[in-house]
Structure 1
């Protein structure tokens, strides 16, 4: 039985990763600060080391458990990745969660081998601003590649927007909440915008499969194998609500609005979460060749919607107020 160290592991991606590892007969040690409830506190086969991954002494204590594989879920700065690849230089696999944001060029789709990734300045490497996120993740990738050249079994996984149960970002929750509460939902543009997403359980299985079957020094995209537009996502939410919520009346009306109509409420297209221009698509063929498969979209959305209903998440701060949407709808109704 392999022993996995999961850096992070109690909130979202890491939580699903631990569940996936347990289902595949791994022993697991969590390493985190303990700022959030530990859903595995009483689970057999799961131990925990408390500490801050940015503190070298704490990270060395985590390394002392001598894991076979390491999954790094919370490496947000290049220094984090460099120190980890130094400490875990003899493990069977070190898997770093990078991001689709690491890509610099807007290829359709973005390919691991040919689409360039961002450069990262010294200032960006330590900057906590959102604008530096992609460059920081890209620099982490380069450190992984350099470590592999030095003999470390290091690999990276690049997901786009992640959704599913326990998603504390509440990005998808905004749209589920809208569809569940209102008969008409405003969608920016013509509804054909594409921003690649990935179901969280598929990120977890992708990380494990990369650890087991991947090649050191390689990056692997993980994303829903079947992509849908923003309109298609809302239609999936409508279908999922009809399936899991007996009080829901299906058939939401999707009302598209361009810049001129949105301006009536002082709104812009990118005020709506999960809207992106230009489109963002990742190729997933490379990880699929390792034996990875994604969850059918209908199943993934049903699980995400069921979790939303059971939670207190609304995501309402991620998009326009309903009053502003009503102003836009009023303008559209007069056309």
Structure 2
């Protein structure tokens, strides 16, 4: 069994949980990152740290020479060239696992399946772009780099999560709803609350990375996501239960939101067309998702001890309050 894992990234969110996952499985772990963020494993003798920029091929090669890892988990490859470089440098590793994304899928299907649902195309311009609009295309091209590496004999694989939530989530998309539920008795939910955006608990993503590294097939991609995919109004209820509070949800259509200058797209985790990933393939490796009764309480607990609110990602509370008053008047 492999014994040493190199986690590229490793101190913030998915990488942080991946480090813990591999430690719990008995691996020695080395983190490669630029050192721009606090290292939660600084006092853990089982975790070594190499400072370096993963976009620098020389830094990657230096890390490979120092560590000679059995497993490489690539959490921060955001451009195809990053994946091409890593799969060449770590070609002799027992496993290279690329953290891709459900955004790599290029067609709306319910559910989206590996090897069946087409991926996003990626132009030369998109491949080197840094904008959010090219994210899915760049991740898809990273997947194709994994497939090409596997064709060369590299044991390279990809894991595709949708939006990830859990403790230490710096994106704050889920935090927005926790903050709203904890701070107010009444909150606005866009539409009728039935929009569906499949999410994945961060520890489940971390376990998927380990299981794919140990049992996956070269050249394959694996979707990961929660076992049950709640619609948005269900998420609000689940968060309220974890917060041990009650909240009234006020549903508002696009036209009603427009009366105060808002739109459905301004709310985190709103998606006009359902986004659901089929996880059958990953389950076939022995992976199982964690029930929401075990994922949301620790997410809420860590939220309470952090300074992240997600408020800047959604509507101002003043506009929300005005809308609730308007809807009460016309009711």
Shorter-chain TM-score bucket reads over 0.9
Rounded to whole Å, the distance in 2 between the matches of 1:30 and 1:129 is 26
CA contact (8 A) 1:264 1:327 kept: no
Q: Distance in 1 between matches of 2:162 and 2:292?
A: 15
Cα shift at 1:44: 2.0
Separation in structure 2 between the aligned mates of residue 58 and residue 260 of structure 1, nearest angstrom: 52
- Does the CA contact (< 8 Å) of 1:118 and 1:135 recur in 2? yes
Q: Partner of 1:256 in structure 2?
A: 251
- Shift, 1:332, TM fit: 1.0
Note if 1:142 corresponds to 2:144: yes
- Written as runs of structure 1 = structure 2, the 5 A alignment for 1:295-306 is 295-306=290-301
C-alpha separation between the residues in 2 aligned to 1:226 and 1:260? 30
Q: List, as ranges, runs of 4+ consecutive aligned residues in structure 1 with deviation greater than 4 Å.
A: none
Structure 2 distance, partners of 1:47, 1:216, is 27
Q: How many residues align?
A: 328
**Structural mapping, 1:233-244, within 5 Å:** 233-242=235-244
2:131 aligned to which of 129, 139, 142:
129
* CA distance in 2 between partners of 1:272 and 1:265 (Å): 14
Equivalent residues of 1:95, 1:211 under 8 A apart: yes
The residue that corresponds to 1:38 in the other structure is 39
Of 285, 296, 304, 2:280 maps to 285
Task: Report the Cα distance in structure 2 between the residues aligned to 1:197 and 1:287, rounded to whole angstroms.
Answer: 15
**Could you say what secondary structure the match of 2:249 adopts?**
strand
Shift of 1:56: 1.4
Q: Distance in 2 between matches of 1:257 and 1:55?
A: 48
2:93 corresponds to which residue?
A: 91
Q: TM-score, normalised by structure 1?
A: 0.97
Whether 1:4 aligns to 2:31 is no
Find the aligned partners of 1:170 and 1:271 in 2 and give their Cα distance. Answer: 14
Please tell me the root mean square deviation across aligned C-alpha atoms, in Å: 0.7
| Cα shift at 1:42 | 1.2
Unmatched 5+ residue regions in structure 1?
A: 243-249
Q: Does 1:112 align with 2:114?
A: yes
- Give the Cα separation in 1 of the matches to 2:170 and 2:290: 21
Partner deviation per Cα, 1:102-127 (whole Å, 9 max, x = no partner): 00011000000200001100000000
2:148 alignment partner, SS class: helix
Alpha-carbon distance between aligned partners in 2 of 1:57 and 1:116, rounded to the nearest angstrom: 34
- Secondary structure at 1:96's aligned position in 2? strand
Q: CA deviation at 1:150?
A: 0.8
Q: What secondary structure is seen at the aligned counterpart in 2 of 1:156?
A: strand
User: How high is the TM-score relative to the length of structure 2?
Assistant: 0.98
Instruction: Quote the residue 2:322 is aligned against.
Output: 327
